[in-house]
């Protein structure tokens, strides 16, 4: 079925998991390598990163070392997703128009004029 190969739409972009498969990340998509972040969601990703920084500070202040370490993993993933989105935006903004090739350019040859055999 076609839908088994389609991408799932999630809050930050598209998930590459096939329909009917479980998510081992329990929807913590910022850590998932299958998430392709939508550049339009960059500000939301920045908010997530800022929230993670605040939560890490709270965990360290309260002495929750294990919680802080887990949040640091999520922060590293959020920073990587931000870098990925920034790269996508930069490539999109520097795209070059290549034009439309003509048939002789595609075929790579020209036809020879016909000669009269008589």
Q: What is the pLDDT of residue 62?
A: 95
pTM metric for this prediction: 0.68
Once rounded to an integer, what is the mean pLDDT over residues 93-112? 70
DSSP 7-59: PEEETTEEE-PPTT---TTTT-GGG-TTEEE-GGGHHHHHHHHHHHHHHHHHH
91 has a pLDDT exceeding 60: yes
| Cα–Cα distance for residue pair 28/35, rounded to 1 Å | 10
Q: What is the pLDDT of residue 5?
A: 46
Q: Do residues 57 and 63 lie in contact, with contact meaning Cβ atoms separated by under 8 Å?
A: no
Check whether 102 has a pLDDT greater than 60.
yes
pLDDT tens, residue by residue, 38-64:
999 999 999 999 999 999 999 999 999
Summarised one tens digit per residue, pLDDT across range 3-35 is 544 557 778 888 877 777 777 665 568 888 888
């Amino acid at each position: 079925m076609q839908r088994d190969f389609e991408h799932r739409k999630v809050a930050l972009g598209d998930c590459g998991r096939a329909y009917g498969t479980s998510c081992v990340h329990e929807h913590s998509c910022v850590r998932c390598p299958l998430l392709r972040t939508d550049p339009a969601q960059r500000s939301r990703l920045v908010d997530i990163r800022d929230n993670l920084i605040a939560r890490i500070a709270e965990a360290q202040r309260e002495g929750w070392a294990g919680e802080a370490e887990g949040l640091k993993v999520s922060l590293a993933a959020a920073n990587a997703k931000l870098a990925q989105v920034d790269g996508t935006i930069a490539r999109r903004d520097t795209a070059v128009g290549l034009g439309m090739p003509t048939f002789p350019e595609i075929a790579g040859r020209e036809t020879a004029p016909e000669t009269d055999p008589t």
